[in-house]
Amino acid sequence: MPPTRFYLMPLVRLYRRLNKKSIIAKIFRKKCKRCKDNSLIFSIKSIVVTDFQCKLVQASSNAVKSFKTKITMKNIFDPAVCTEVITRIESLKPTSARLWGKMTVAQMLAHCCVSYEMVYENRPKPNFILKYFLKTFVKPYVLSEKPFKKSERTASAFIIEEEKDFETEKDRLVSYIWQTQALGANYFDGKESISFGSLTKQEWNILFYKHLDHHLKQFGV
């Protein structure tokens, strides 16, 4: 079998959603003799499609779907929601045990602060290629309402390896949350993200709240 053709079962679902002519490659069905089920053969002229490239195609398809999702997530710009989140943070203790992952509670708080540091502090910006990748393939997942998976890999900028002081990190995070709420949703509407470009106020809300909620649940609050 030529290297430019191979069975690609994970794209069966993608094939059903997209129009046959809307992909750069020609996709067609073929009966698999072994499993007696519909398989796919991906045929592309002049290039070899790797598994990585196919995952990017699938992620691009998911991007279209994710941005059609109606936004129903809690609004971190709402004072009541802001107070609720901070109450959850205040209920943490230096000895709070994680339910999954490797971070200590102090490291988790420092990790959550990074999202705000990228807004309020002078953090290094990704280069053009990395930013294109983030906007095209990471942004749709991060800004969808689909919860993060447990123990999922994170970007290097968010990795906290050194030990942190619990009270210091807790106070920093609470301060960032209040600062964001005080500025209000309209301040963030159309504001540039160093990773994802210009975002709407709804997207900023998901960016902030989804991440906080995920890690507070990680420590049972």
What does the pLDDT look like over 145-169, one tens digit per residue?
Answer: 899 999 888 888 899 999 999 999 9
Q: Report the pLDDT value the prediction gives residue 173, as an integer from 0 to 100.
A: 97
% of the chain at pLDDT higher than 90: 55
| Residue 40 main-chain phi, psi, to 5 deg | -125, 145
Q: Are 86 and 76 a contacting pair, CB within 8 Å? A: no
Please give the Cα distance from 147 to 218 (Å, whole number).
Answer: 12
Whether 44 shows a pLDDT value over 50: the answer reads no
DSSP 72-97: -S--TTSHHHHHHHHHHHHT--TTPP
**CA proximity to 159, closest of 85, 107, 216:** 107
Structure tokens at 18: 């997209």
Q: From residue 212, give the alpha-carbon distance in Å to each of 38, 146, 162.
A: 42, 14, 20
Residue 17: its pLDDT value, please? Answer: 55
- pLDDT range class, residue 62, cuts 50, 70, 90: low
| C-alpha–C-alpha distance, residues 108 and 170, integer Å | 10
Q: Identify each DSSP E strand in 48-199 by its residue range.
A: 192-193, 197-198
User: Can you give the pLDDT at residue 155?
Assistant: 84
pLDDT above 60 (res 67): no
Mean of per-residue pLDDT scores for the chain: 78
Torsional class of 50: left (φ above 0), alpha (ψ -120 to 50), beta (otherwise) = beta
In this prediction, residue 151 carries a pLDDT of 87
The reported pLDDT for the residue numbered 16 is: 53
Average pLDDT over residues 38-45: 38
pLDDT category of residue 13 using cuts at 50, 70 and 90:
low
Structure pTM? Answer: 0.66
Q: Report the SS3 class of residue 173.
A: helix
